[in-house]
Structure 1
């Protein structure tokens, strides 16, 4: 798959690198084209250039910029993003008492704001619950099952592309409903990060229910 990565930060490097290692053709675009070139060389990307070039590069586009900047960036490049799968991996969080808090309004999500800013794009919320460092290593679970990446999508073809990106890196796709449920994924990130900061493990709060007898 051809994937444009808009951004040059940690998530751009982690996910872009994971996809390049999985055999996808990755193009890195950044406002600082020197930084984009350095990242492209580091992760083995096929090319680098501007955000506009990344937006129009392939079937899928990763928005890997700060959450507060993502809707404006999508609006700026809405024409190029039309018809493409646009992956939103952001979390709109600020420090709060005892953890982190969402900066989006009640019921809103960054993914929804991106979809409103670029109405022709097929936005998918994904990759926002896993720490950036985990994309640089093979996923492992205690019971040997591939860990899951939940995602929210309205468009079936876009959902299929993101499922391919997830499974191709050794993870398990977990459909979590339409884009109207993206706010729940973003709230889950805020909850999980708060638990980590307190020294706990979020997975211990979500044990599997026993199967039928």
Structure 2
């Protein structure tokens, strides 16, 4: 039986952190931008970090760029936002640098239902599958069910912040993730353990609901 928590931890006083973003596309750059505006030190990364220089320059001194390996080494907490298929390759390249660190998993499974990872995600859930791939990291499903544009729009709109569902088995990691959702000027909704991530995967009502906290709660019944 899946147990739902549906908790929203209260935001704590701001504490600057070193944060890495592996995959600085639409979603990764939106979250990373909000974190940098909040005052965190953020490293945006991709296979071609030089292409991220214009964004880093616009965001200012809190933002640097690098490779995925550099971001994993630099950061206390890492957000991964890439297509799901290359995750095993990334784990080979960066898994040791992520050991013991909080890994915010914003990746969604392959569209091709015949892909082995799509099949594993369908049977086990995305969160447990990501945890298997990054066995030594502390995985939290976070920012996977919201649109990048809505994350960007939530900055500075304290009256109607975007609600972000998250799920994880490590209580401390979940608390850190929830605080980082607050720091991105959104509101966290802790749904439960990693197994509850299936409740906001692609194809469910909460996925891409892009709504307020109370409305998101109602989508979970």
TM range (shorter): 0.7 to 0.9
What's 1:7 paired with? Answer: 23
**In the TM superposition, what whole-angstrom CA distance separates every residue of 1:107-132 from its partner, at most 9, and x where no partner exists?**
32333222112211001001112111
**Rg larger in structure:** 1
**In the TM superposition, what whole-angstrom CA distance separates every residue of 1:117-154 from its partner, at most 9, and x where no partner exists?**
2211001001112111011123669xx56442111111
Match for 1:25 among 36, 41, 47?
41
The question of whether the paired residues in 2 share the 8 Å contact of 1:71 and 1:114 is answered with: no
What's 2:70 paired with? Answer: 53
RCO comparison, higher one (Cα < 8 Å, 6+): 2
What's 2:188 paired with? Answer: 173
Q: Given the two structures, how large is their TM-score scaled by the length of structure 2?
A: 0.75
The separation in 2 between residues aligned to 1:47 and 1:8, in whole angstroms, is: 12
> Which ranges in structure 1 are unaligned for 5 or more consecutive residues?
97-101, 197-202
Structure 1 consecutive aligned stretches of length 4 or more whose deviation exceeds 6 Å:
193-196
The separation in 2 between residues aligned to 1:71 and 1:112, in whole angstroms, is: 14
Q: Given the two structures, how large is their TM-score scaled by the length of structure 1?
A: 0.78
Name the SS for the 1:21 alignment partner: helix
What's 1:99 paired with? Answer: none
Name the SS for the 2:192 alignment partner: coil
1:195 positional shift: 8.9
The separation in 2 between residues aligned to 1:146 and 1:36, in whole angstroms, is: 27
1:43 positional shift: 3.5
The separation in 2 between residues aligned to 1:131 and 1:153, in whole angstroms, is: 20
What's 1:88 paired with? Answer: 105
> Which ranges in structure 2 are unaligned for 5 or more consecutive residues?
1-16, 210-214
Q: Is residue 154 from structure 1 mapped to residue 169 from structure 2 by the alignment?
A: yes
The separation in 2 between residues aligned to 1:59 and 1:194, in whole angstroms, is: 28
